[in-house]
Amino acid sequence: MTSHNGAVVEIENACFAFGKREVLKGIDLAIPRGKVSAILGTSGCGKTTLFRLIGGQLKPSRGRVRVEGQVVHELDTAALYELRKKMGMMFQQGGLFSDLSVFENLAFPMREHTDLPDELIRDLVLMKLHAVGLRGAHGLMPTELSGGMARRVALARAIALDPTLIMYDEPFAGLDPISLNVIANLIRTLNDALGVTSIVVTYDVSESLKVCDHAFFIDGGRIVAQGPTAEILDSGDPFVRQFLHAEADGPVAFHYPARPLRESVNLAGAASASASASA
């Protein structure tokens, strides 16, 4: 399978809503093959929803989502499952099976989707764990892992079936600086060593821009800025500048849309109540 313009993922005018709440309002983007791309935006802007559209968990209300040239939401169940075998996913909270050891967590997808003998599965699991520095932890249970170790195991499981596309959902959230740096370097190293395409969904600008080749910024359900990392860092775009420098004032509003405060709250009554409480 080949996709247009050398892109692994192509999203054209994709729209999606949860009930009456529009999340995506016409997303257009193309993820370049063999690169690390970051999708950046504030919490709740639709980053994870994009992943669900790419993986076929959700269907757009309008537009198209192509992966390796196939329109994901037009595939039947069998074809969708075959396509998913070419995708690796590192979930936001790791998503490890709590009742399985580290070894068995990695062996699970191999046993489910291949006919490989146990001896070969054992060797492959240990090789994947070695790639993330945790071969010696293969016998541990998820409850015995630190947060950073659990993320590394989740990363090893994401590459268990040698996917061509790896997706990382908030891989840096909640990590200490050392673990965060390790995960960031692993994403870059594994992408280059395996020759895959990686998508990092995050709101952590500083870390993602250290490892990614291309960045997309989402706001208001649309792509508001995109480009190679070097261009993004030098961008004069107000949204990009606000996001890069964590500025309070700018295109990204702090308050969720609502009626004016005076229409929602009896300010005179509130002031009187406050004065009575102080007395």
pLDDT in tens, 239-272: 777 777 666 665 565 556 677 777 777 655 555 5
For residues 198 and 171, give the distance between their C-alpha atoms in angstroms, rounded to a whole number: 12
Smallest Cα–Cα separation from 37: which of 238, 218, 174, 161?
218
pLDDT at 246: 63
Q: How far apart are CA 115 and CA 92, in angstroms?
A: 29
Domain assignment present for 45 = yes
Q: How far apart are the C-alpha atoms of 213 and 188, rounded to whole Å?
A: 10
| pLDDT value at residue 255 | 59
Query: Tokens 């997303």 label which residue?
Result: 27
Least confident of 14-18, 27-31, 258-262: 258-262
Within-domain flag for 144: no
Reported as a pLDDT band with limits 50, 70 and 90, residue 3 is very low
> Which of 137, 114, 274, 205 lies closest to 217, judged by CA?
205
For residue 65, pLDDT beyond 90: yes
Residue 230 has pLDDT above 50, yes or no: yes
Residue 114 and residue 259: Cα distance in Å, rounded?
A: 56
Task: State CA 165 to chain mean position distance.
Answer: 12
What whole-number distance in Å separates Cα of residue 1 and Cα of residue 4?
10
| 205: containing domain | 4-86+163-278
Beta strands in 35-180 (DSSP E): 36-40, 62-67, 70-71, 87-90, 165-169
CATH of the domain at 67: 3.40.50.300
pLDDT of residue 262: 75
Q: Is residue 227 part of a domain?
A: yes
pLDDT digits (tens, 9 = 90+) for 197-213: 999 988 777 778 888 99
Residue 95 lies in a domain: no
Q: Work out how many domains the chain is built from and give that number.
A: 1
Pair 83, 72: CB distance under 8 Å: yes
Q: Pick the residue with more confidence: 174 or 247?
A: 174
**Stronger pLDDT, 154 or 231, i.e. the higher one:** 154
4-31 exposure pattern, b = at least 16 Cβ within 10 A, e = fewer? eeebbbbbbebbbeeeeeebbeebebbb
Q: Which two tokens stand for residue 256?
A: 């969720």
Instruction: Report the pLDDT value the prediction gives residue 60, as an integer from 0 to 100.
Output: 92
